[in-house]
Amino acid sequence: MKIEAIDGALCRILGTFILTAALAGCGGGGSSADAAAGAAASGSTASVSSSSSNGTGLVALSSSAYTAAPATNALVTIYRVGSSQGTATVGYTTVNGSATAGVDYVTTAGSVSWQDGDATPKTVAVPVTSQASGKEFAFALTSIAGQASFGFPATATVGIAGNAGGGWTSGTVTLSWTAPTENTNGTALTNLAGYTIYYGTSATALTEKISISTVGMLNYVISNLSSGTWYFQIVAVNSSGVQSNPTSTVSATI
């Protein structure tokens, strides 16, 4: 995706960028060819605090609340934001709630690391059993080393969807996209400000809107969707409020 520069000013983001959708915790349905079905954990995405001014980045979870279907893997994403200077390592662990390790889910603990200049999100998979329906456990960042500090959130709740009438009660879709890097004239894009997600139950009437002001956030989870087919588009927005053309529409059936 590129932004066109005319008369020295950024005018219009003309290119498109890739958007995918993945179902999570749903039953009795599939996604379209453009939306990859899956059983990933999901939750409402939380903003990660800005990095400090001394060049030290922050490490935090992508959300303070995730959901997953029974007998799947709960997927928890850990971000490194702000400065990516130097190496960084963060430890993590699962913590019992109403869900018990060894019965409802597999105890998962360890660490993830970033090398100098790396800010790639890291994903941790926590296996969930079929007995975990309606229960929850916690996931926590426990230690940090290197040139990074804890951001927010550092802990999250992972809820396991219940079973209602043969379909999971959680209707959740995870959207992922790539970010633009340059203007249409080939110059570097330096004022990307965020993204806007449009969605709805009709491909021609995307009446719901979510604004994202964190440019490094390249995925978002939409929860509590009712049964049926949902359609999604996303646009990029620069600091002047100029929007890109939308992505192609993707859909997911809950």
SS3 of 132, please? helix
131 and 207 share one domain: no
52 and 147 share one domain: yes
Tokens in use for 38? 């899956």
**Domain around 181:** 2-23+172-253
Would residue 29 count as lying in a domain? no
Measured between alpha carbons, how far is 120 from 245 in angstroms, rounded to an integer?
26
Residue with tokens 């980045």: 57
- Give tens-digit pLDDT for 165-186: 444 445 677 788 887 776 666 6
Q: At which of 164, 187, 202 does a domain end?
A: 164
Residue with tokens 């979870």: 61
CATH of the domain at 148: 2.60.40.2030
- Model pLDDT, residue 2: 32
Measured between alpha carbons, how far is 22 from 35 in angstroms, rounded to an integer?
6
81 and 159 share one domain: yes
Predicted confidence band at 121 (pLDDT cuts at 50, 70, 90)? very high
SS3 of 203, please? coil
Measured between alpha carbons, how far is 164 from 246 in angstroms, rounded to an integer?
36
Would residue 32 count as lying in a domain? no
CATH of the domain at 237: 2.60.40.10
48 and 112 share one domain: yes
Would residue 39 count as lying in a domain? no
Contact between residue 109 and residue 92 where contact means Cβ atoms under 8 Å apart: yes
245 and 134 share one domain: no
Taking CA atoms, 80 is separated from 38, 46, 60, 155, 205, in Å, by 25, 14, 7, 15, 36
Higher pLDDT, residue 225 or 15: 225
Measured between alpha carbons, how far is 240 from 192 in angstroms, rounded to an integer?
9
Q: At which of 164, 195, 222 does a domain end?
A: 164
193 and 160 share one domain: no
Predicted confidence band at 52 (pLDDT cuts at 50, 70, 90)? very low
49 and 7 share one domain: no
- Give tens-digit pLDDT for 59-110: 999 888 888 888 899 999 999 988 889 999 999 999 998 899 999 999 999 9
- Which residue, 161, 156, 141, 35, is CA-closest to 89? 141
Predicted confidence band at 194 (pLDDT cuts at 50, 70, 90)? confident
Tokens in use for 149? 């500090």
Higher pLDDT, residue 35 or 115: 115
Q: At which of 112, 141, 164 does a domain end?
A: 164
How many structural domains is the chain composed of? 2
53 and 159 share one domain: yes
Residue with tokens 């060049």: 55
